[in-house]
Chains A and B, each alone.
Chain A
């Protein structure tokens, strides 16, 4: 079965992936026979309920976990039977991985966290510093180069993790909920960046997400449930270039309104947007006012 009839080369192919996890009675099948292929220039979303096996699948595609059954090949190289060193080599040359729990080095600053991934991939010296700083600027952390993870907010840590994954320009980026800890503005910023990398640098990007705001960036959406792919769709997506600040900001209040969370949280998170865009800010304040008077 070919998932990608298009002309772009397949950079990642997986067939019949099965993964069993746990021991004894607690042993479960987290992934139950998944076929997936990623091609360059495409941003794919992997959506599904918690516990459906998204992280497990992603780490198998990233050659971090080995499947119980099935085959994975990266840039034409089948991974079956490869020694740990060879797998590590594939990871550092082809894959940028964004961990759901960030996995930053607590003893290194933001820029050093990015540099170490470059260092592992053999990029060193002034070039590494320049690339690391650029990647951090790309995720909006140009002012946090020398901050340690302990002094970064959850969202900032997540963005450092994103910068680390993209800095060496890998052909495949596997992102595990890269916007989960981000407010609307930064969430869109990261997704826009990933979409842009996919398109302009011809990379292949797979994003695990729960976040419906990311839909607009997807070339393809795969739904997974209970370890199996249940559907796949190609949404009509707005071109990345049109997703300017205004469109994103306009989307933000809608998301807030649809959400039933208390008004205080989004209000604080939306604060910087209000100063930037008075019109949207007004809608937001009006909504919040309305809620408050209703309560």
Chain B
């Protein structure tokens, strides 16, 4: 009967229900988009690191992110790592911003990712056309197919110029977006060094793969003592550092999370307001319940059930709209991501939001005197 009464109270005033639902819907959509953007951005920022092999990253001192690795490392760091017990292999990776000259004129900025798939570094992942063998062929590179028009090319076989040399698209990846909006261009590291006129053996990072059973901290400490001032980071540390650089030092992440908090706050206030006014309107019934001998817990449950039903309804509507937005944003520059975890998180958030909203209404009925039934 608690659910029946809550349901009837809720649907008794349709306009108030509509306001409640719009409030929840608004905050769900806002939070979903903000957090979806946050997740989508994070994924873009970390995709190369996630897909790299190896447990440790040797980086220049103060390297900020995958795209912003600082001064180049040399063969010295690589040798030091290779000479450390427990190290299986060390793969150099070159990751540098460069200028891309479009075949029909004009230029844009790209990130060159030079690495050799064979030695356990970064291979272009999510290849949809062409293979690593194709990329190794003369002038070969891989780019993401979503950036073709931005790069001023048509697809496989197109040529362009990076810095001093010519490149030819021999493979395409799918859905490797770049948070910096500078497309990634994958190629063997020797080609990258040649294009950039970098001395042989230089690299932005060295990716260290450990022997099975080797102790990560011991190996890390030993490499660090040899390569200082260069740093030795775990994969997770480097992920975090990259996220921090792009999401927090630029303020983008703070804006996204701030937006999500604001959405939650506005939703909570609207729901609290409507729930309170509903409770006030039904105060005589709550007094009657009390006079019939209900515990105050029983009445609280009615109010919480009202809040919970609003939450579920609002969540369902909000998710439909959010998914439409996510769908519409696909392929645009806005990387909104909706994951099952985010969907579940939003449900929990909505339920919490409505439960908190119920507090003022619950305070209202807690003080109710059953004698109110005689003063109507």
Contacts and interface: CB of A to CB of B under 8 A. Distances in A.
B302 to A, nearest CB: 10
Contacts of A15: none
Contacts of A106: 12, 285
A178 to B, nearest CB: 16
A95 B293 contact: yes
B291 A97 contact: yes
A250 interface: no
A108 B302 CA distance: 14
Given A64-B373, A85-B296, A103-B373, A91 B12 contact: no
B294 interface: yes
B5 interface: yes
Contacts of B344: none
A119 interface: yes
B374 A65 contact: yes
Given A59-B371, A65-B374, A89 B296 contact: no
Contacts of B374: 55, 59, 64-65
A108 B9 CA distance: 9
Interface stretch (A110-118, A235-243, A269-277): A110-118
Nearest to A176: B374
A117 B260 CA distance: 43
A254 interface: no
Interface string B1-45: 110110011001000000000000000000000000000000000
| Secondary structure call for the B interface | helix
Given A64-B291, A97-B291, A120-B289, A105 B5 contact: yes
Contact of A117 (B8, B12, B292): B292
B370 interface: yes
Interface string B284-300: 11001111111110100
B288 A105 contact: yes
Given A59-B374, A64-B373, A88 B5 contact: no
A50 B292 CA distance: 25
A141 to B, nearest CB: 19
Contacts of A117: 292
Contact of B5 (A89, A101, A107): A107
A121 interface: yes
Contacts of A92: 292-294
Contact of B291 (A85, A91, A93): A91
A290 B10 CA distance: 55
A116 B374 CA distance: 20
A81 interface: no
Given A64-B371, A99-B373, A119-B1, A107 B294 contact: no
A40 B289 CA distance: 26
B1 A116 contact: yes
A88, A91, A97: most-surrounded residue (chain B CB, <10 A): A88
Contacts of B296: 84-85, 88
Nearest to B302: A116
19 contacts: A64-B373, A65-B374, A84-B296, A89-B293, A90-B293, A97-B292, A99-B373, A101-B376, A103-B291, A103-B373, A105-B5, A106-B12, A112-B4, A115-B1, A116-B289, A119-B1, A120-B292, A120-B298, A121-B293
Task: List the 10 closest A-B pairs by CB distance, nearest first.
Answer: A92-B293, A91-B293, A107-B8, A119-B1, A120-B294, A103-B288, A116-B1, A64-B370, A65-B371, A88-B293
Given A99-B288, A117-B292, A120-B292, 12 more contacts: A65-B371, A89-B293, A91-B291, A91-B370, A97-B291, A101-B376, A103-B288, A105-B8, A108-B5, A119-B1, A120-B294, A120-B298
Interface of B: 1-2, 4-5, 8-9, 12, 284-285, 288-296, 298, 370-371, 373-374, 376
